[in-house]
Amino acid sequence: MVVVLAMVVVLTVGLAVVSRSVTNLRNSQQEIDSQKALSAAEAGVEQTIKSGTSITEPINISAQTTYQTSTETISGGSDFLLNGNNEVSQDDATYIWLIPYSPPPAQLFTTSWSGNLNIYWGNSTTACNNAALEIAIISGTLATPTVTRYVYDPCSGRRSSNNFSVPSSPPLHPISGITLYNSTGTITVTNGFLARVTPLYANAYIGVSGNPALPSQGTLITSTGTTDTNVVRKLEVFQGYPEVPAELFPFSLFWP
């Protein structure tokens, strides 16, 4: 009986060691495959930015790894989230193009947009967990552009010191699966070119709607990397239009 018990103990310990070794090897291989798939997805993003088109057929970057990509234009024809559906970091501005973007050497700001703009933000039911917003809109003419500023804060405690405006509280406003609780209300824009939106005190999902419809705001690139062991990694990268330097934004940006 002692010998049998000793054999059982030794066998149990041996099986535990083998099982742990197999698990570690499996985890290591999965990590390697995951990294390969991620590298392939990153390569897909780079190639799509370089070519400017989707890569719909799988491209081999090695015998074991492929990538393919798709692109989606972020259209202003309906409500949409800024920054490619990602949160905008605190104190980090994002832009709303009120006119179609044209890359250099084409002349920007040769047209303007007039209409009603509504900006939504704050996905927390606790007001003071949400950001405040600073909005600056460039409008007017090439000869005499103006910057109009709006500031809103849903937190009454902060408003006592910053004197920001109280946002509207519309019915729950879901955009791309994110429910937003605050709104600027209607901002009437006349001969607008560009709007700069900055969340203060916290990060924020920021949505926007325009009437009439706003132009394209950029491209969302989705890249999928796949290994021969069927490990899949997916990346989404928002390719926006060039930003105006913050140091220049409050001052004159146009030359007739």
Which structure tokens are listed for 83? 């920054």
Bigger pLDDT: 93 or 108?
93
Burial of residue 135, with CB atoms counted within 10 A of its CB: 0-12 exposed, 13-18 middle, 19 or more buried: buried
Instruction: Report yes or no: 74 and 220 within 8 Å, Cβ to Cβ.
Output: yes
**Alpha carbons 96 and 76: distance in angstroms, whole number:** 9
Residue 104 DSSP symbol: T
**Alpha carbons 205 and 199: distance in angstroms, whole number:** 9
- At residue 152, φ and ψ (nearest 5 deg) are -135, 145
**Is 159 among the domain residues?**
yes
Burial of residue 27, with CB atoms counted within 10 A of its CB: 0-12 exposed, 13-18 middle, 19 or more buried: exposed
Of the listed ranges 23-27, 43-47, 180-184, the least confidently predicted one is 23-27
* Total number of domains in the chain: 1
**Is 70 among the domain residues?**
no
Residue 114 has pLDDT above 90, yes or no: yes
**Is 178 among the domain residues?**
yes
Mean pLDDT of 180-196: 93
Q: Which of 52-66, 179-193, 237-251 has maximum average pLDDT?
A: 179-193
**Is 104 among the domain residues?**
yes
pLDDT band at 170 (very low <50, low <70, confident <90, very high): low
**Is 231 among the domain residues?**
no
pLDDT 10s digits, 39-75:
899 999 999 988 888 998 888 887 789 999 999 888 7
Residue 120 has pLDDT above 80, yes or no: yes
244-252 LR contacts (CB < 8 Å, sep 24+): 244/95, 244/194, 244/196, 246/93, 249/93, 249/136, 249/138, 249/147, 249/196, 250/136, 250/147, 252/145
C-alpha distances in Å from residue 63, one per residue of 36, 60, 67, 227, 231:
12, 7, 12, 9, 14
Residue 29 has pLDDT above 70, yes or no: no
Work out the mean pLDDT of the chain and round it to a whole number: 84
**Is 247 among the domain residues?**
no
**Is 61 among the domain residues?**
no
Which structure tokens are listed for 140? 């007017």
C-alpha distances in Å from residue 219, one per residue of 5, 63, 70, 113:
67, 30, 10, 21
Per-residue confidence (pLDDT) for residue 21, from 0 to 100? 65
Domain span at 175: 79-213
**Is 171 among the domain residues?**
yes
Closest CA to 82 of 242, 245, 250, 240: 240
Q: Return the CATH number at 106.
A: 2.60.120
